[in-house]
Amino acid sequence: MAARVLMKAIHSLRSPGVVGAALSCNGHTFSSAAAAARPAAPSVDAGVNEKILNVPLTQPDYFRLSELFTVKDLFEARVHLGHKKGCRHRLMEPYLFGSRLDVDIIDLEQTADHLQRALNFTAHVAYRGGIVLFVSRRRQFAHLVERTAQECGEYAHTRYWQGGLLTNAPVQYGPGVRLPDLIVFLSTLNNVFQTHVGIRDAAKMNIPTVGIVDSNCNPSLVTYPVPGNDDTPVAMELYCRLLKMTINRAKDKRKRMELLKGI
Amino acid sequence: LTCSSGRTVTACIYSLAFPLQLLSRQICVSSAAWRKNLAAAGPEKFSEEYIKKQVEEFNIGKRHLANIMGEDPETFTQEDIDRSIAYLFPSGLFEKRARPVMKHPDLLFPKQTAVQWGEDGRPFHYMFYTGKQAYYSLMHDTFGKVLALEKYQDSMRNKGLFTKDTRQMSLTGSRWLLKEELEELLVENISDHDYTRFLQLMERLLSMPYCAMEEEFVQRFRRQLEVQSSKQEIPAVQHDENGVAFSQAEGRRKTAKASIKLRDCGTGSITINGKSYLLYFPVLQDREQLMFPLHFVDMLGRFNVEASVEGGGHCAQAGALRLAVSRALLSFVSAGEMESMRQAGLLTPDPRVKERKKPGQAGARKKFTWKKR
């Protein structure tokens, strides 16, 4: 029973009211073959379904993510350290606290606020069974990011980005492929210090993005930018840990809601 | 108006006399345009149920075949199947792959990757969106092992138990997988660059001191080298009724085949196809070729040669006999002399054969007369 409701809920990720029919949103079509085999009362399930999806939207911090980190934690993980003044990107100036000995310092109060919003959004996406794709083109942290994605049950891409990955997906992977519902960039630059192609492609395909923007990155086109350091191992481990905890929390909450409402 | 090969739609506006031909355009849609573009479809995809059905049919057919041949269906192996098919459907076709064959469907149908995502659309593999999930996950696992070994090394160093002389894996007699073999293992296409990177990572894993801990993982990607026996096969010394030692050997050159019996008698007589060698080889050069191996080991008067030779011309037959005599001599000669014989080129079969004639030329190399204009 709980599994049935789960399947129905996942199928109607974007539009909670419609159940069973072939949905088409943002160019992805997913038809539920299993829906045809389920003859049980759809109206009761639809009501329960709606409640499951709408209850988290009632409160601002439903998943209590503000308990996960403090500004002091960010400071100890050296998230405030940016690059030198010469590498500074013009659009990052609002996020900088200042510079000390030519090194840009990122404003941790703004970072905390942005991070809170980004984690909240990630939690909601994971709660609704969305696909989260972790992207990072830094060789140093590729293994860490992939391991994080494996442990959350989500997906990772820390390798060479093929051009038509998002924009030409039905041709590359086969018809009926489902694209990610959220892309998390743990570093928005690629190996030649240019903006990662995935940011532009995600914007083209209407996929929201969360991105850790350092002081030499371009924060435009990222839906939820999080100004912070992306070069230190401590900082990367902090981000990975926080993301893993939010996603696991959201998924556990979802399972519990289904069991509660299912009864 | 109708086209010979299909429908025609005539878009004719005016029915005037002369300009009719200019204004009316026949949009002829021939049946060729309705047919699917077979080349663009790509290789045929077989569904899982189809292959399962084929496997069932193969198993039933195997039992029927065993009954037809009057053998036990339980112990009917693939060799028996091949034998029975060759008996029941004899084929004179030269192309082996065009002959009737009955094999297990797994061997006949190419391996394909199944659908990569579940009912809800979520892909099964966490690296699905990279495109090369099997290859990249292999790289990830290998690198994970490298990191684990480094951590183990550090812990040993902390305890003070770090030693460089640990058990090393034996890598002699094996080689790394070829690129085609790796592609087959991963069921995925990889580029040369990817393959090189994979080998570099494995070499890095092997360069670490405690790599013996990951032996079984590494051995999965190594293949045994075929043992090449480059040793000379010495023919066995036999004894006939009178107790005389003799050895038999064969030799080939161009299209000539020779087989000889070398007897340790004492006389130096040589008989070829029943005739004396003086009569069979009137040319001195051929007799020299025949004598050379015996002269080289200074055993000219010791042996009796009984030879039979067929095919080729007189030089080819002489060369074949020379090789056969050298091989037969190996059983009567020491290892050092064998080595010197090998270095003299007596034991090497001559690989030269007649080169084929090519079209557009008079012979193998001779061209037709070149005319400037």
Among the partner-chain residues A10, A155, A159, the one whose CB lies closest to the CB of B128 is A155
d(CA B247, CA B264): 9
In chain B, the N- to C-terminal Cα span, in Å, equals 54
d(CA B268, CA B240): 18
CB B29 within 8 A of CB B10: no
Q: Are A172 and B130 inside 8 Å of each other by CB?
A: no
At A139, the pLDDT band (50, 70, 90 cuts) reads very high
Residue A6's pLDDT is 46
State the nearest Cα–Cα gap between A159 and chain B, in angstroms.
7
pLDDT in tens, A209-222: 999 999 999 999 99
State the nearest Cα–Cα gap between B102 and chain A, in angstroms.
33
Could you tell me which of B52, B81, B78, B51 has the C-alpha nearest to residue B64?
B81
Q: Are A173 and B116 inside 8 Å of each other by CB?
A: yes
pLDDT in tens, A156-167: 999 999 999 999
Q: Are B130 and A32 inside 8 Å of each other by CB?
A: no
Amino acid, single-letter form, for residue B18: F
State the nearest Cα–Cα gap between A92 and chain B, in angstroms.
30
Residue among A131, A147, A183 with most chain B CBs within 10 A, to mutate? A131
CA torsion through residues A212, A214, A217, A221, sign: positive
**Set of chain A residues whose Cβ sits within 8 Å of the Cβ of B116:** 173-174
Across the A:B interface, residue pairs with CB atoms under 8 Å apart total 58
State the nearest Cα–Cα gap between B115 and chain A, in angstroms.
9
Consecutive H or E run containing B305: strand B304-310
Among the partner-chain residues A159, A174, A180, the one whose CB lies closest to the CB of B130 is A159
Distances (CA, A) of B213 to B153, B154, B210: 12, 15, 6
Q: Are A156 and B144 inside 8 Å of each other by CB?
A: no
Residue B70's pLDDT is 93
Say yes or no: A125 contacts chain B, CB-CB below 8 A: no
**Set of chain A residues whose Cβ sits within 8 Å of the Cβ of B120:** 7, 10-11, 30, 129
DSSP assignment of B161-224, as one string? ---S-PPPP--TTEEEPPHHHHHHHHTS---HHHHHHHHHHHHHHHTSTTGGGGHHHHHTTEEE
CB B126 within 8 A of CB A150: yes
Among the partner-chain residues A10, A150, A178, the one whose CB lies closest to the CB of B117 is A178
Binding-site residues on chain B for chain A (CB distance < 8 A): 115-117, 119-123, 126-132, 136, 140, 143-144, 147
Top pLDDT among A205 and B28 is at A205
Among the partner-chain residues B129, B143, B144, the one whose CB lies closest to the CB of A157 is B129
pLDDT in tens, A73-88: 999 999 999 999 999 9
Amino acid, single-letter form, for residue A233: P
**Set of chain A residues whose Cβ sits within 8 Å of the Cβ of B140:** 143, 146
**Set of chain B residues whose Cβ sits within 8 Å of the Cβ of A147:** 144
From first to last of the 373 residues of chain B, give the pLDDT tens digit: 444 444 544 444 444 445 555 566 777 677 776 676 666 666 677 788 889 999 999 999 999 999 999 999 999 999 999 999 999 999 999 998 899 999 999 888 877 767 788 888 899 999 999 989 999 999 999 999 999 999 999 999 999 988 887 788 888 888 999 999 999 899 889 999 999 999 999 999 999 888 888 999 999 999 988 776 667 788 989 898 888 899 999 999 999 999 999 998 888 899 999 999 999 999 999 999 999 999 999 988 889 999 999 999 999 999 999 999 999 999 998 888 998 999 999 999 999 999 999 999 999 999 999 999 8
The residues that bridge with B6 in the sheet, in sequence order, are B3, B30
Token output for A138: 């830094």
**Set of chain B residues whose Cβ sits within 8 Å of the Cβ of A145:** none
Token output for B305: 């040669």
Amino acid, single-letter form, for residue A119: L
**Set of chain A residues whose Cβ sits within 8 Å of the Cβ of B129:** 133, 155, 157, 165, 180
Predicted TM-score of the model (pTM): 0.67
Amino acid, single-letter form, for residue A121: F
CB A69 within 8 A of CB A115: yes
CB B251 within 8 A of CB B320: yes
Distances (CA, A) of A59 to A120, A122, A190, A223, B2: 11, 15, 37, 21, 73
Residue A41's pLDDT is 52
Is the ipTM beyond the 0.90 threshold? no
Q: Which of residues 17-56 of A touch B (CB under 8 A)?
A: 28, 30, 32-34
Residue among A24, A147, A157, A179 with most chain B CBs within 10 A, to mutate? A157
**Set of chain B residues whose Cβ sits within 8 Å of the Cβ of A33:** 119
Say yes or no: A205 contacts chain B, CB-CB below 8 A: no
**Set of chain B residues whose Cβ sits within 8 Å of the Cβ of A174:** 115-116
For residue A30, pLDDT over 60 is answered with no
Token output for B68: 């037809």
